[in-house]
């Protein structure tokens, strides 16, 4: 009887000890791996209650050690406005030719403080919460967004004092006050986006928190908080066109001007930049969406190293 030849050797199967094969077999994934962008958005939305509760808790605890407590939420921007009024309105005379200068100044200070505080909080959103980041699994974008939401809550609380000041200086309530809602919404999206940008930078370079106050102070002086930017642009028409365009399209100045236009009847549309609502929406879209995507791209690196 002839011996049958041995069958051709079959290709070897997957190695049962291979980590990749074991992970695929049991449906395991890499811990801390960056999810897809749509999945990341869904995860963040699912934790919206955490974002709101975290922001509220931080706001409540912010002045818990002070004797006056939450009164400082209103007192701090009011004291800043008083200092700016004395320095710029009285000593430097920037109030001349600006109708309703006190409402003009206080509105600018309150709105600018919203952006300034959101960005400063964003620089430490990751580096200052490493214990939370390393202990729990959640989309890290929740932290800078919650800090921006905290500053929005503080602004809304302070708006009570702003309304009292406006009414006290004879500014009437009008339908244009409703425009404050979309203006603040666009500003919040912009602030949250910039907060995510500086949060990613601050996660790797904590020293940015020391540099940012100087950047923000320069930005504030270029944003027309204490003076009429419209008058400055008109009086210095000989400046290079690129400088004039940068001042006119400055996002902080755009949101401040929109709030002044909404709340102060003597601040008329001619003082606004051209296509101001398109500018406000464009800055919100660029910072909000662009900042979110840029922050997400480094999701797996936060809290490591």
Instruction: Yes or no: say if 229 and 223 are a contact pair by the CB < 8 Å rule.
Output: yes
How confident is the model at residue 304, as a pLDDT? Answer: 75
Structure tokens of 79? 């004291």
Instruction: Yes or no: say if 72 and 63 are a contact pair by the CB < 8 Å rule.
Output: yes
Which tens digits make up the pLDDT trace of 231-290? Answer: 766 666 667 778 878 888 899 999 999 999 999 988 888 888 888 999 999 999 999 999
Whole-number percent of the chain with pLDDT over 70? 84
Give CA torsion, residues 215, 216, 222, 227, to 10 deg: -150
Nearest to 288 by CA among 215, 206, 193: 193
Which tens digits make up the pLDDT trace of 50-59? Answer: 999 999 888 8
Q: Which of 30-44, 127-141, 209-223 is modeled with the greatest confidence?
A: 209-223
Instruction: Yes or no: say if 257 and 224 are a contact pair by the CB < 8 Å rule.
Output: yes
How confident is the model at residue 25, as a pLDDT? Answer: 63
Q: Which of 9-13, 44-48, 222-226, 227-231 has the lowest mean pLDDT?
A: 9-13
Which tens digits make up the pLDDT trace of 104-158? Answer: 999 999 999 999 999 999 999 998 888 888 888 889 999 999 999 999 998 988 8
For the whole model, what pTM was predicted?
A: 0.85
Structure tokens of 8? 């051709």
**CB within 8 A of 105, min separation 6: which ones?**
81, 84, 85, 88, 89, 95, 225, 226
* C-alpha to C-alpha distance for 187 and 295, rounded to whole angstroms: 19
Boundaries of every domain in the chain: 35-299
Q: What is the mean pLDDT of the chain?
A: 85
* C-alpha to C-alpha distance for 82 and 222, rounded to whole angstroms: 19
Long-range contacts of 56-60 (CB under 8 A, 24+ apart): 56/150, 56/153, 58/146, 58/147, 58/150, 59/150, 59/153, 59/154
* C-alpha to C-alpha distance for 251 and 282, rounded to whole angstroms: 9
């Amino acid at each position: 009887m002839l011996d049958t030849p041995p069958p051709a050797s079959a290709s070897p199967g997957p190695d049962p000890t291979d980590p990749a094969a074991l992970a695929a077999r049991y449906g395991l994934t890499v811990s801390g791996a960056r999810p897809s962008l749509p999945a990341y958005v869904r995860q963040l939305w699912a934790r919206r209650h955490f974002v709101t509760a975290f922001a509220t808790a931080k706001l409540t605890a912010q002045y818990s050690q002070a004797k006056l407590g939450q009164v400082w939420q209103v007192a701090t921007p009011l004291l800043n406005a008083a200092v700016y009024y004395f320095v710029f309105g009285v000593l430097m005379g920037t109030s001349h030719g600006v109708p309703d200068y006190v409402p003009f100044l206080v509105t600018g200070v309150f709105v600018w403080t919203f952006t300034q505080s959101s960005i400063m909080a964003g620089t430490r959103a990751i580096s200052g919460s490493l214990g939370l980041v390393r202990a729990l699994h959640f989309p890290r974008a929740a932290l800078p967004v919650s800090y921006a939401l905290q500053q929005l809550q503080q602004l809304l609380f302070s708006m009570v004092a702003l309304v009292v000041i406006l009414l006290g200086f004879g500014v009437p309530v009008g339908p244009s006050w409703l425009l404050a809602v979309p203006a603040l919404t666009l500003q919040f999206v912009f602030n949250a986006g910039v907060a995510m940008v500086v949060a990613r930078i601050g996660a790797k370079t904590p020293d940015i928190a020391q540099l940012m106050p100087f950047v923000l102070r320069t930005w504030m002086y270029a944003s027309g908080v204490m003076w009429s930017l419209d008058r400055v642009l008109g009086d210095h028409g000989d400046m290079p066109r690129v400088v004039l365009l940068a001042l006119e399209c400055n996002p902080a100045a755009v949101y401040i001007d929109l709030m002044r236009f909404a709340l102060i009847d003597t601040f008329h549309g001619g003082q606004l930049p051209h296509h101001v609502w398109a500018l406000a929406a464009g800055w919100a879209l660029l910072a909000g969406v662009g900042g979110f995507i840029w922050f997400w791209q480094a999701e797996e690196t936060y809290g490591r190293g």
